[in-house]
């Protein structure tokens, strides 16, 4: 019941449209139910008396009833379609808004295709169950109630015979709903996996072609498609057996009406018009009963989809504003890590008693082997995650107490894998500063050493760069992201492996841009290439979440410690055993 209460809230946002749909349904049902009664009257009074003129008038009235029924139906469908699209938009809007609020950890644990399928396919399936189930179910119930009353007024004994199969049908419906809901949940999960594979293959198409993985991916697709096919057919076959059983049991009532009703007509207890009308009503009664059984199946599928939708909507937002969140603190930015402990849910502790100060206006570089905790430090500054214990402070203020929007507006990130939207160069730059002038854009491009290649693009800054900037080289994409940070002009910059994916020539161009970017800004650099951090004011060597040593390049290169060993391995031009003093 909780599920239905939750989905009903979306309907109740549009009470007027919902009420109009139901009223039009009542009108359509009333005219439809009146037709057999009219036929009875014509048979018993006009046809039996051979009154042709009255027969013509009676037929015209029935025709008018049918016409009014369809007029009401047309407006009902229009109202229902409008309501449907409004609810569908609300569901997708709420789901998308929640996805934008969810912490980075949520997406780290889920396939992007599966998340996307919840916004598109699952919401559509839920909406069908929500609206079609409510609207068609209401119409069906109205018809059943109206027809049942008329049947008892026509012939109570026959009415009881018609209703005898209904308890059995209700029992079957309940059992089917319990079983098919599990089946459809499996179908929705399998569909999500298939969508994930499709997204993965689309995003990785260059890798697939370069490694000749087409056959492998075709086999993976075939496996998941066959799995989805099998689970869908299992759900459909169960429905086929169920609906066949329902229709056979319902037919027993029709057979009883023909036999017993025919006998009562021959005995004079029922008129011929009454017998004909009763049979029509009997057919009309079972039609909405069959419809309810079909809706039962559809609602089971909708509930399975709804569970996946509400899993996202109900997921806790771990990273959010404190009740008394404050703006980003003013003044030169100094960042302090105070005895920080942190671990991801699926891993043991990543940072252990981590204490470090990033001096204002200075560059701090984190180096060390893969898995040492370097990116985790950056994630905590950006507040993609919160510390398990300890604190990260900016100018004395705990980042958990700073308003999230304000915090991130004052931070600039240049990541290893630069992300660009499928838009123009100009539109991607304006994300950082929507009110920027043309001169500001050109100045940012020049500072990022990106003005040259942008000027050579077919339409300059108005050139579309494709999904994730696919029409640009890696170095060009990286320089555009740097230009975007220049335009944002934040006091605190995080460089996360900003040059690790480019060649040495491009690295030099990017490094030139970065040197301009970090000047007089508090900067945190994460790097594997030690050549990029030689100019850092302090270099911090991490290993297994602990600080091994801190110093300048010269100090650490002379010390003979972990940094000196890393420098030796990366400096092929330094002979083995040579003095590392610079």
Domain boundaries in the chain? 2-313, 335-410+520-574
pLDDT at 364: 93
Mean pLDDT of 521-531: 85
Asked whether the domain spanning 335-410+520-574 has the same topology as the one spanning 2-313, the reply is no
pLDDT at 340: 93
Token pair for residue 489? 């002009």
User: Which CATH fold would you assign to the domain 335-410+520-574?
Assistant: Rossmann fold (3.40.50)
- What pLDDT band is residue 568 in, cutting at 50, 70 and 90? confident
pLDDT at 452: 87
Mean pLDDT of 325-333: 91
pLDDT digits (tens, 9 = 90+) for 74-96: 998 888 888 888 888 888 888 88
Question: Is pLDDT above 50 for 335?
Answer: yes
- What pLDDT band is residue 578 in, cutting at 50, 70 and 90? very low
- What pLDDT band is residue 576 in, cutting at 50, 70 and 90? very low
- What pLDDT band is residue 507 in, cutting at 50, 70 and 90? low
pLDDT at 492: 92
Token pair for residue 203? 């995003």
pLDDT at 395: 94
> Considering only CA atoms, which of 63, 197, 70, 188 is closest in space to residue 129?
188
Question: Is pLDDT above 80 for 247?
Answer: no
Question: Is pLDDT above 50 for 333?
Answer: yes
Range from 51-60, 98-107, 169-178, 346-355 carrying the lowest mean pLDDT:
169-178
pLDDT digits (tens, 9 = 90+) for 427-461: 989 888 888 899 999 988 888 888 888 889 999 99
Cβ neighbours, 10 Å, residue 247:
14
535 or 575: which carries more pLDDT confidence? Answer: 535
pLDDT at 519: 83
- What pLDDT band is residue 380 in, cutting at 50, 70 and 90? very high
pLDDT at 462: 92
Q: How many percent of the chain have pLDDT more than 90?
A: 14
- What pLDDT band is residue 319 in, cutting at 50, 70 and 90? confident
Question: Is pLDDT above 90 for 287?
Answer: no
Question: Is pLDDT above 60 for 23?
Answer: yes
Instruction: Give CA 31 to chain center in angstroms.
Output: 43
Token pair for residue 466? 């494709």
- What pLDDT band is residue 469 in, cutting at 50, 70 and 90? confident
Question: Is pLDDT above 60 for 573?
Answer: no
Helix or strand (DSSP H, E) at 78: helix 52-101
pLDDT at 449: 84
Q: CATH number of the domain at 2-313, out of 1.10.540.10, 1.20.1560.10, 3.40.50.720, 1.10.3720.10?
A: 1.20.1560.10
Q: Is 350 helix (H, G, I), strand (E, B) or coil?
A: strand
Mean pLDDT of 372-381: 89
pLDDT at 571: 66
pLDDT at 399: 93
Angle at alpha carbon of residue 207, lines to 201 and 211, rounded to 5°: 115
For 490-532, the DSSP string reads: -SEEEEESTTTTS-HHHHHHHHHHHHHHHTTSEEEEE-S-GGG
pLDDT at 447: 85
- What pLDDT band is residue 346 in, cutting at 50, 70 and 90? low
If you average pLDDT over every residue of the chain, what do you get?
Answer: 82
The b/e string for 393-427 (b: 16+ C-beta within 10 A; e otherwise) is bbeebebbbbebeebbebbbbbbeebebeebbbbb
Question: Is pLDDT above 70 for 210?
Answer: no
Question: Is pLDDT above 80 for 286?
Answer: no
């Amino acid at each position: 019941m909780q599920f239905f209460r939750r989905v009903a809230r979306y309907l109740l946002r549009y009470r007027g449209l919902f009420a109009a749909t139901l009223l039009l349904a009542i009108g359509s049902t009333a005219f439809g139910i009146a037709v057999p009664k009219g036929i009875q009257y014509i048979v018993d009074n006009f046809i039996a008396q051979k009154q042709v003129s009255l027969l013509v008038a009676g037929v015209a009235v029935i025709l008018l009833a049918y016409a009014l029924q369809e007029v009401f139906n047309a407006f009902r469908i229009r109202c229902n379609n409008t309501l449907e699209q409004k609810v569908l938009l609300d569901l997708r809007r709420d789901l998308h808004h929640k996805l934008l609020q969810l912490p980075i950890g949520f997406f780290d644990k889920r396939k992007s295709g599966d998340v996307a399928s919840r916004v598109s396919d699952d919401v559509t399936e839920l909406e069908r169950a929500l609206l079609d189930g409510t609207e068609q179910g209401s119409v069906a119930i109205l018809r059943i109630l109206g027809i049942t009353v008329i049947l008892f007024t026509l012939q109570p004994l026959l009415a009881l015979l018609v209703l005898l199969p209904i308890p059995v049908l209700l029992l079957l419906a309940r059992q089917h709903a319990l079983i098919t809901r599990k089946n459809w949940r499996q179908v929705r999960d399998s569909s999500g996996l298939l969508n994930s594979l499709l997204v993965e293959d689309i995003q990785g198409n260059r890798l697939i072609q370069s490694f000749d993985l087409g056959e492998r991916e075709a086999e993976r697709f075939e496996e998941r498609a066959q799995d989805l096919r099998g689970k869908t057919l299992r759900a459909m076959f169960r429905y086929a057996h169920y609906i066949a059983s329902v229709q056979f049991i319902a037919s027993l009532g029709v057979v009883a009406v023909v036999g017993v009703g025919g006998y009562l007509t021959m005995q004079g207890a029922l008129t011929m018009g009454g017998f004909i009308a009763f049979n029509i009503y009997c057919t009309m009664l079972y039609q909405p009963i069959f419809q309810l059984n079909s809706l039962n199946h559809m609602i089971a599928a909708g509930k399975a989809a709804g569970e996946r939708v509400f899993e996202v909507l109900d997921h806790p937002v771990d990273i959010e504003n404190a009740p008394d969140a404050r703006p980003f603190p003013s003044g030169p930015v100094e960042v302090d890590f105070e005895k920080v402990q942190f671990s991801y849910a699926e891993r043991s502790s990543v940072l252990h008693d981590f204490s470090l100060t990033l001096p204002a206006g200075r560059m701090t570089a984190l180096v060390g082997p893969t898995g040492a905790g370097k990116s985790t430090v950056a994630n905590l500054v950006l507040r993609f995650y919160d510390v398990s214990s300890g604190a990260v402070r900016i100018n004395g203020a705990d980042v958990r107490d700073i308003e999230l929007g304000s915090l991130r507006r004052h931070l600039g990130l240049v990541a290893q894998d630069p992300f660009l939207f499928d838009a123009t160069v100009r539109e991607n730059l304006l994300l950082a500063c929507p009110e920027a002038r043309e001169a500001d854009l050109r100045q940012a491009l020049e500072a990022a050493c990106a003005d040259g290649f942008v000027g050579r693009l077919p339409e300059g800054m108005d050139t579309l760069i494709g999904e994730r900037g696919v029409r640009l080289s890696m170095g060009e994409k990286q320089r555009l992201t740097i230009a975007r940070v220049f335009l944002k002009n934040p006091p605190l910059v995080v460089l996360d492996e900003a040059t690790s994916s480019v060649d040495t020539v491009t690295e030099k161009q990017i490094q030139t841009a970065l040197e301009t970017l970090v000047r007089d800004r508090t900067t945190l650099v994460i790097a594997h290439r030690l050549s990029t951090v030689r100019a850092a004011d302090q270099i911090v060597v991490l290993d297994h979440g602990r600080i091994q040593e801190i110093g300048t390049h010269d100090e650490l290169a002379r010390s003979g410690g972990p940094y000196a060993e890393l420098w030796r391995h990366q400096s092929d031009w330094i002979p083995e055993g040579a003095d590392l003093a610079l």
